[in-house]
Amino acid sequence: MGKIALFLLLVVNAFYSLANPWFGVCAGYMFNILGPQYIWWWNFQGLRAFYMIAIPTILGFLFGAIRGALNFEIIKNKLVIFSVLYFFFVFLSYFTGPYVDVVNQWRFYDPYQVLITMLKVFTFYFIGLVCISEHKKLKYFAFILPIAALYLTYWANMQYLSGRFFIRLSGPRDITGAGMYSDENNFAMLFVTAIPFFFYLGWYFKRWYLRWGAWLVVPFAWHAIFLTASRGGLVGAGLVSLLAAFRSPKKIIGIALIPAFIIAYIWQGGSVIKHRAQTITTYEEESSARTRLEAWDAGLKMLLDNPLTGVGLASFTQAFPFYSDKTPRMAHNTFVQIAAESGIFAILFYLLFMLSCLWGVFKYRNSFPRDSLEYYLCDAVLVSLCGFLGCSMFLTLNGFEIQFYLAILANTLIYLAKKSADEKES
């Protein structure tokens, strides 16, 4: 029964997305952030659900472009240019990287499969940039991350209450053990990026029960991060809580976030996360931290040896033995990973891309009415991206799709702010 209902839902979505590709973008990002195929996996067996979402969305986008029904003005800015150039050099590194075809015991990922995945990410990202172009569409799109994170916060805390996890909690998995958040660090990052949305949506909601309901999710999201025992997630949770406190509409409530986070950590942080947290300040003395420094050193050598192309897309670990006598591993640093694999231009445009997002939402927040959704979304995106970039110093997150979701929000907010300013001048 569940599979039949899912199939009918996908069919309805397909027909609607042909005429309204923005809706398909929303459905696609909900699918990619929530990962329902790993939660209710029995209903998804035998269904190519993502393609049933993606193909009608792409066709709807092409039909809309041919009819002139899409607003391409929204992508005429530096943010989009930098992001497209970043993807270009990432894709180029697959064809020019000297280690893409090297096959050894340290080849953890198939570069071709990573290329296909990144092409899917770019396709939906680009369509989203064009289609999410007005207030109504922005409103639907903005609630995707908080809705997905709300359910996964519930799911994570239920695993704790039922005792269904051991030592460190990862995300939902299907019967084969595969999962979108099978890595505990990635699972923690979902909550890190979502916490600012719960906080600022609380300010946006006018009804007290919605406001306090949104704020009540925050401590449960903190607890979900504690369950992952991710040091990067812990740092990210502290960072977004601190930034949200200082950018709170009412400072007294914002500042209360800081002691609340500390109390939650002392009270609900398990022994595993507390033990791992103690090594943050003694980074070079802890074994897993020391191996990351070794990986960063190898990554910098790869960049110096291959400054233009990098060693190749998804080729960090197979190139590792040629640059270090240490045991090969991932860089556990997004910036080192991008630079080493795709070269100096890729990391340059990635940094410019991220900075454009941050500066745009910071600069244009006050262009919106103080109680508007856009006003609070600017702060939510700003704090969320800061948390993401802070964690990127210690985690490999270059394929983390939520960053592109946040970039679409940033681009739309910047466009709407500029459009409003132009209308006022005219």
* Residue range 106-144, pLDDT digits in tens: 888 899 999 999 999 999 999 999 999 999 999 999 999
35 with 183, same domain: the answer is: no
Strands (E), 318-394: none
Mark whether 42 and 140 lie in a shared domain: no
Among 392, 394, 160, 188, residue whose Cα is nearest residue 279: 394
Distance CA 260, CA 106 (A): 43
Q: Is residue 218 domain-shared with residue 192, that is, in the same domain?
A: yes
Q: How many domains does the chain have?
A: 2
pLDDT tens for 161-173 read 887 777 788 899 9
What does the pLDDT look like over 14-68, one tens digit per residue?
Answer: 999 999 999 999 999 999 999 999 999 999 988 889 999 999 999 999 999 999 9
Which of 70, 98, 115 is the endpoint of a domain? 70
* Average pLDDT of span 322-343: 93
Which of 50, 70, 90 is where one domain is finished? Answer: 70
Kindly write down the DSSP assignment for every residue of 52-95, as one continuous string: HHHHHHHHHHHHHHHHT-S-GGGG-SHHHHHHHHHHHHHHHHHH
> Which of the four pLDDT bands, split at 50, 70 and 90, describes residue 276?
low
pTM of the shown model: 0.94
Shared domain for 9 and 113, answered yes or no, is no
Output 163 or 274, whichever has higher pLDDT.
163
296 and 160 inside one domain: yes
Among the candidates 70, 95, 118, a domain finishes at: 70
pLDDT at 3: 87
HSE-CB at 383 with a 13 A cutoff on CA atoms is 28
Look at residue 392 and tell me whether its pLDDT is greater than 80.
yes
List the domain range (segments joined by +) for residue 49.
Answer: 1-70
Do residue 57 and residue 104 come from a single domain? no
- pLDDT at site 258: 87
Residue 285 and residue 149 in one domain: yes
